[in-house]
Amino acid sequence: MSLPPLVEPAADLTRDEVNRYSRHLIIPDVGMTGQKRLKNAKVLVVGAGGLGSPALMYLAAAGVGTLGIIDFDVVDESNLQRQIIHRQATLGLPKAESAAATVREINPLIELQVHNTALDRDNILDIFGRYDLIVDGTDNFATRYMVNDAAVLLGKPYVWGSIYRFDGQASVFWAEHGPCYRCLYPEPPPPGMVPSCAEGGVLGVLCASIGSIQVNEAIKLLAGIGEPLVGRLMIYDALEMTYRSVKVRRDPECALCGENPTITELLPDYEAFCGAVSVEAADAAQDSTITVHELKAWQDADEKIFLVDVREPNEYEIVSIPGATLIPKGEFLNGNALELLPQDRRIVLHCKSGVRSAEALAVVKNAGFADAVHVGGGVLAWVRQIDPSLPSY
């Protein structure tokens, strides 16, 4: 489905712009008019991480006149494997500022708007309202639903992408012409069902594959060329090197963009809507969470505890808390782990950050280990607060 151009063309291109964008200008489908539309466009990239890195760099190189960057995080060493917009020299700096510095080096002819803040329900409508198009590079369900809802309420199109290990997805959501994200995913997955990239990993170059597709779609929308991914979900398997497209239809029962919407404003709490952990896990952890300092004190005092690491074997190989026995979370969920737990020692569970161990804790308590606890912050907290000589990830 071809769509009209999203923006009007700018009045002209300068001599420097003609020189810079000449390879666009000689493409008949783009030409002077298409490039002028890019110059007149205002695009916001949400997140300067894995997807945001290539998206920002190619949008800048393409000549998008006003480019917005929003991110509240700082550059960490683990980012550098895939977030190519950042550098060793920018470790510890705000990602938005680090990304802006790289973008300025790529193209000094465009205008940058830097939002060094977290996107939330109090600022999202105001920030989105300043742009023609949103490129979503977020990596969590709460923000994805919030981005979708704000875009629909404002009548804005946005380009969505998702990455995990070797798999990527991309689509264009524009309720005026097709489905929204809620038509595809009416409800978030159950807590703990879909691991994040921080838990499951991602092939670095996959970010470039999906991020460049997002930019391709953005250019098509802005210039009004080609067939955008409206109403289609593109699925990419990097291991098999296959692309396939699935039709996504607008759901007339959609709570947001359907015929009788029940969501007419932003939700009060998107974190609660998506749920970081299940209700059972939250209940189990409420009075059964210890700190890494408490764990260290128990170990030093030779308390009768059985420390269990519920991460995956490849994570355990990277770093582990001394004395921990590896039993992956899946073994708790299928019940096999229970027969491995001693009855004469207190069960102490930990994972990377505390989410998976809380899920396992619910199973253990249900099985009768009433005094079982889990370690808040997991191995990351252990490295930060107990033994900084250990590697982190």
DSSP 155: T
Amino acid at 238: A
Parallel, antiparallel or unpaired: strands 305-309 and 346-350: parallel
Amino acid at 256: L
Q: Interhelix angle for 378-385 vs 292-300, to 10°?
A: 70
Parallel, antiparallel or unpaired: strands 167-173 and 158-164: antiparallel
Instruction: For residue 62, give both structure tokens.
Output: 């393409």
Residue 310 near residue 349 (C-beta atoms within 8 A): yes
DSSP SS3 for 69: strand
Amino acid at 179: P
What is 246-267 written as a DSSP string?
EE----TT-TTTSSS-S--S--
Phi, psi (deg, nearest 5) at residue 35: -70, -35
Residues marked active site are found at 197, 351
